[in-house]
Structure 1
Amino acid sequence: MSTVDSPTPRSTLASLRRLGPYVRQVRRPMAWSALAALGASGAGLVIPLVTQRVVDSITRGGGLRALVPLLALALVVGLAEAGLILVRRRVIARPTATLEKTMRDDLYAHLQRLPVAFHDRWQGGQLLSRAVSDLTTIRLFLAFGAIFMVVNALTVLLGAVVLVVLWPPFGLVAVGLVVPMVFLSSLFEGRYKTVARLSQDQVGDLATRVEESVLGVRVIKAFGRGPGFTARFAAESAALRRTEITKVKILAVLWAAIIALPEIAIGATLLIGGIGVGQGHLSLGALVAAVTTVVYLQWPIDSLGWLLAEANKTASASDRYWEVRDAASTITEPTRPRPLPTPVRGALSLRDVHFTYPDATEPVLRGIDLEIAPGETVALVGLTGSGKTTLTTLVPRLFDVTGGAVLLDGVDVRELSTSVLRAHVATAFEDPVLFSASVRENVALGPGEVTDAQVREALEVAHCWEFVQELPWGVDTRIGEQGLSLSGGQRQRLALARAVLGRPDVLVLDDPLSALDVHTEAEVERALQQVLAGVTSLVVAHRPSTVALADRVALLQDGRITAVGTHSELLATSAAYRHVIASDTSELSRT
Structure 2
Amino acid sequence: MHIRDLPHPDPGVPDVRTGGAFLRWLCAQQLGGQLSALAWGLLNVGAIAASPLPVGLAVQAVVDRDGRRLILAGGLVLVLGLLIAVGGVMLHRAAVTNWITAVARMQQLLARKTTELGSAMTRRVAAGEIAAVSTGDLEKIGWFVEALSRFGAAALTTIGVCVALACYQPALGVLVALGVPVLALAVLPLLPPAIRRADAQRDKAGRATELASDTVAGLRVLRGIGGEELFLGRYRSASQEVRRAAVRSARMWSLIAAVQVLLPGLLLLAVVWYGARLALDGTIAVGDLVALYSAVTFLLFPLRHFEEIAQAYAFAKPSATRTARVLAQQRPAGGRAGDPAAAPTGDLHDPVSGLTAPAGRLTAVVCGDPDAAGRLAEHLGGHPPSADDGNGPGSPPSVVLGGTPLDELPREAARRAVLVQDKDPMLLSGTLGELLDVPASGRVGAAEALAAAQCGDVLTALAQASVDDSGDPMRTHITERGRSLSGGQRQRLALARSLVTDPEVLVLDEPTSAVDAHTEARIAEGLRDLRSGRTTVVLTSSPLLLDRADQVVFLQEGKVAARATHRELLLQHSAYRAVVTRAPDPEPAMSAGHPEQEGRTA
For Structure 1 versus Structure 2, the TM-score category normalised by the shorter chain is 0.7 to 0.9
Structure 1 range deviating more: 14-23 or 181-190: 14-23
Structure 1 range deviating more: 423-432 or 570-579: 570-579
8 Å Cα contact 1:127/1:204 also seen in 2: no
Q: Which whole-Å CA distance do the structure 2 matches of 1:201 and 1:247 have between them?
A: 13
Show CA shifts across 1:490-517 (max 9, x none).
Answer: 1110121122113322222223222112
1:279 to 2:284 alignment: no
Alignment of 1:389-428 (within 5 A): 389-399=374-384, 406-428=399-421
Distance 1:468 1:70, change over 3 A: same
Aligned residue in 2 for 1:472: 466
Q: Which whole-Å CA distance do the structure 2 matches of 1:341 and 1:75 have between them?
A: 70
Distance 1:54 1:503, change over 3 A: closer
Aligned residue in 2 for 1:9: none
Structure 1 range deviating more: 480-489 or 231-240: 480-489
What code does the residue aligned with 2:449 have? A
Structure 1 range deviating more: 417-426 or 567-576: 567-576
Q: Which whole-Å CA distance do the structure 1 matches of 2:558 and 2:211 have between them?
A: 35
Aligned residue in 1 for 2:104: 101
Q: Which whole-Å CA distance do the structure 1 matches of 2:420 and 2:118 have between them?
A: 16
8 Å Cα contact 1:340/1:411 also seen in 2: no
Aligned residue in 2 for 1:179: 181
Aligned residue in 1 for 2:361: 376
8 Å Cα contact 2:361/2:534 also seen in 1: yes
What code does the residue aligned with 1:149 have? F
Select the residue among 31, 38, 41 that pairs with 2:35: 31
Q: Number of residues paired by the alignment?
A: 551
Q: Which whole-Å CA distance do the structure 1 matches of 2:76 and 2:554 have between them?
A: 92
1:305 to 2:290 alignment: no
1:83 to 2:86 alignment: yes
Cα offset, 1:385, TM superposition: 5.6
Cα offset, 1:105, TM superposition: 0.8
8 Å Cα contact 1:115/1:399 also seen in 2: no
Cα offset, 1:37, TM superposition: 1.7
8 Å Cα contact 1:177/1:261 also seen in 2: no
Question: 3-state SS of the aligned residue for 1:539?
Answer: strand
Q: Which whole-Å CA distance do the structure 2 matches of 1:392 and 1:274 have between them?
A: 81
Distance 1:184 1:55, change over 3 A: same
8 Å Cα contact 2:577/2:583 also seen in 1: no
8 Å Cα contact 2:364/2:553 also seen in 1: yes
Select the residue among 437, 446, 449 that pairs with 1:458: 449
Q: Which ranges in structure 2 are unaligned for 5 or more consecutive residues? A: 1-17, 468-472, 585-602
Q: Which whole-Å CA distance do the structure 2 matches of 1:276 and 1:386 have between them?
A: 82
Q: Which whole-Å CA distance do the structure 2 matches of 1:27 and 1:491 have between them?
A: 48
Distance 1:295 1:377, change over 3 A: same
Q: Which whole-Å CA distance do the structure 2 matches of 1:98 and 1:346 have between them?
A: 46
Aligned residue in 1 for 2:51: 47
Distance 1:475 1:346, change over 3 A: farther
Select the residue among 423, 436, 445 that pairs with 1:430: 423
Aligned residue in 1 for 2:4: none
Distance 1:295 1:442, change over 3 A: same
Aligned residue in 2 for 1:348: 348
Q: Which whole-Å CA distance do the structure 2 matches of 1:45 and 1:345 have between them?
A: 72
8 Å Cα contact 2:166/2:177 also seen in 1: no
Cα offset, 1:211, TM superposition: 0.9
Select the residue among 240, 243, 246 that pairs with 1:241: 243
Question: 3-state SS of the aligned residue for 1:538?
Answer: strand
Show CA shifts across 1:357-416 (max 9, x none).
Answer: xxxxxxxx4xx35452x3222333454569555444433223459577743233344443
Cα offset, 1:82, TM superposition: 0.9
Show CA shifts across 1:212-248 (max 9, x none).
Answer: 1211111222222222212211221122122212222
1:135 to 2:120 alignment: no
TM-score w.r.t. the length of structure 1 is 0.83
8 Å Cα contact 1:349/1:406 also seen in 2: yes
Aligned residue in 2 for 1:511: 510
1:546 to 2:545 alignment: yes
Structure 1 range deviating more: 571-580 or 128-137: 571-580
What code does the residue aligned with 2:452 have? V
Distance 1:114 1:382, change over 3 A: closer
What code does the residue aligned with 2:421 have? A
Q: Which whole-Å CA distance do the structure 1 matches of 2:309 and 2:191 have between them?
A: 11
Question: 3-state SS of the aligned residue for 2:428?
Answer: coil
Cα offset, 1:153, TM superposition: 2.0
Aligned residue in 2 for 1:11: none
Q: CA RMSD in A?
A: 3.3
What code does the residue aligned with 1:397 have? G
8 Å Cα contact 1:100/1:139 also seen in 2: yes
Structure 1 range deviating more: 185-194 or 284-293: 185-194
Structure 1 range deviating more: 25-34 or 329-338: 329-338
Cα offset, 1:349, TM superposition: 4.1
Distance 1:61 1:553, change over 3 A: closer
Distance 1:281 1:123, change over 3 A: same
Distance 1:471 1:420, change over 3 A: farther
Distance 1:44 1:389, change over 3 A: closer
What code does the residue aligned with 1:491 have? R
Aligned residue in 2 for 1:589: none
Q: Which whole-Å CA distance do the structure 2 matches of 1:484 and 1:234 have between them?
A: 27
What code does the residue aligned with 1:479 have? I
Show CA shifts across 1:13-69 (max 9, x none).
Answer: x95564333323322232222122212222223322212222222222334x55233
What code does the residue aligned with 1:508 have? V
Q: Which whole-Å CA distance do the structure 1 matches of 2:99 and 2:168 have between them?
A: 40
Question: 3-state SS of the aligned residue for 2:400?
Answer: strand
Structure 1 range deviating more: 314-323 or 553-562: 553-562
Question: 3-state SS of the aligned residue for 2:186?
Answer: helix
Distance 1:371 1:293, change over 3 A: closer
Cα offset, 1:255, TM superposition: 1.4
Distance 1:273 1:395, change over 3 A: closer
What code does the residue aligned with 2:478 have? I
Distance 1:332 1:526, change over 3 A: closer
Q: Which whole-Å CA distance do the structure 2 matches of 1:550 and 1:516 have between them?
A: 19
Select the residue among 144, 148, 151 that pairs with 1:149: 151
Cα offset, 1:182, TM superposition: 3.8
Aligned residue in 1 for 2:490: 491
Q: Which whole-Å CA distance do the structure 2 matches of 1:168 and 1:576 have between them?
A: 92
8 Å Cα contact 2:201/2:245 also seen in 1: yes
What code does the residue aligned with 1:209 have? L
Distance 1:287 1:17, change over 3 A: farther
Q: Which ranges in structure 1 are unaligned for 5 or more consecutive residues? A: 1-13, 355-364, 586-591
- Aligned-residue identity in percent: 26
Aligned residue in 2 for 1:7: none
Q: Which whole-Å CA distance do the structure 1 matches of 2:72 and 2:558 have between them?
A: 92
Q: Which whole-Å CA distance do the structure 2 matches of 1:243 and 1:518 have between them?
A: 53
Alignment of 1:157-168 (within 5 A): 157-168=159-170
Q: Which whole-Å CA distance do the structure 2 matches of 1:48 and 1:160 have between them?
A: 13
Question: 3-state SS of the aligned residue for 1:508?
Answer: strand
What code does the residue aligned with 1:458 have? A
